[in-house]
Amino acid sequence: MLNANRDIQRTPAHTRSQVLTHALNLFTGQGYFNTSVHDIAHASKVSVGSIYHHFKDKEGIARTLYEELLTQMVEEITDILRNHTTAHSRCRAITELLFEITVVTPETMEFIIYAKHREFLPGEFPICSSKPFVMMREIVAEGMETGEIHTMDPTVATACLFGGSIRLITGYLDGVLEKRLPEYLEETWTCGWRAVAVV
Amino acid sequence: MLNANRDIQRTPAHTRSQVLTHALNLFTGQGYFNTSVHDIAHASKVSVGSIYHHFKDKEGIARTLYEELLTQMVEEITDILRNHTTAHSRCRAITELLFEITVVTPETMEFIIYAKHREFLPGEFPICSSKPFVMMREIVAEGMETGEIHTMDPTVATACLFGGSIRLITGYLDGVLEKRLPEYLEETWTCGWRAVAVV
DNA sequence: GTCTATACGACGATAGAC
DNA sequence: GTCTATCGTCGTATAGAC
């Protein structure tokens, strides 16, 4: 996953990362159920047998992807928590992070925020119960205690603060935006913050 | 068992509506690809042959559902346009409508707002390009001309105005809200409007 | 660990009787 | 129009050689 573009190797680690990379592209590009293990094998230039050696089954590939991408996102939010102190600054940084991930690795964002995980990952909790989203709500809740954000239901505040950004991101992933995504950042952030900020 | 079968209506219209109703439930409950035509036949108490008499194929069922539900929503928004004049009043009414549809017929809202249509309806435009969403953006744009809403990119304004509500709705559909959905209406609307309103 | 070949079940769709 | 029975295909997963 991390060392995606290297010379063609046949090491186990390389096989594994190739499979994950191409599975992510196929799952987001044409959907999990429209993607066969054979498709993944072909795109990864790896045999079906190798795939089943590294992963229990097709679902296992998706689950691994889901967990690794979420873990990565948690780390990035943790960094933001370290480098920013106010709720305003932290939420702004998270918004920038979401936009950046979307532009740099749209498949990642699509798989995290836009896929219907419950349809192919039985037992998995909804994405909004996942760690990154919980962290975002905690940041908002703390912002209420410091008086930066209106005292209200934290779920509502988080939804309204980030809801606009998420709409823009899904619009970008759907290819329906007229301008490039970053051009929407300032205005979207201003609106989102205005929705919840104490004047 | 056999007696029960006598009570079942066998008119074409009844067959068609039964299939659509149960297909919607199954598609939203377990996903389009996890639902077989046999499942639909069983749930609808109709034979597979009858289903294929009324619909070209499985995709045709989903496409019919999609079109009918969107048409219904367009009519409801049209009603709102008739009965309300200001952008404030119209957007508020639309927010209430979205919440009400979600509570009364969650499958409808899930199928419209939450399904990944492009994965099973090839050629279909993304939901945010659909008529209801376009109408919402037009209402917002008019609100800018009348001075009710900040002059800004209409896409951003619409995303921020309704983004919070949509997040709450998806949270409800995912079953992760602590309170019942209507209890969030006032606060969510207030936040959304504050995000874009001219003071 | 990686590969090819294959078993086997599931599902979409059709045929043809009533 | 509705039904049952069946066909053909596709895709997951495994077996077993290298």
Half-sphere exposure of B105 (CA within 13 A, CB side): 13
CATH architecture of B64-196: Orthogonal Bundle (1.10)
Can you list the residues of chain A whose pLDDT is less than 50?
1-7
At A19 the pLDDT is 98
Does residue A197 sit in helix, strand or coil? strand
The string of pLDDT tens digits covering residues A65-80 is 999 999 999 999 999 9
With b for 16 or more beta-carbon neighbours within 10 A and e for fewer, the B146-176 pattern comes to: eebbbebbbbbbbbbbbbbbbbbbbbbbbee
| pLDDT range class, residue B8, cuts 50, 70, 90 | low
What amino acid is encoded at A102 in this protein? T
Q: Residues 22-81, chain A: which have Cβ under 7 A from strand D? A: 35-38, 48-49, 52, 57-59
The string of pLDDT tens digits covering residues B66-99 is 999 999 999 999 999 999 999 999 999 999 999 9
The string of pLDDT tens digits covering residues B179-199 is 999 999 999 999 999 999 998
| pLDDT range class, residue B7, cuts 50, 70, 90 | low
Residue ranges matching CATH 1.10.357.10 in chain A: 64-196
Residue ranges matching CATH 1.10.10.60 in chain A: 1-56
A128, A176, A196 member nearest B171 (Cβ): A128
For A1-56, CATH gives 1.10.10.60
Q: Is the CB of B10 under 7 A from strand D?
A: yes
Q: Is the CB of A175 under 7 A from strand D?
A: no
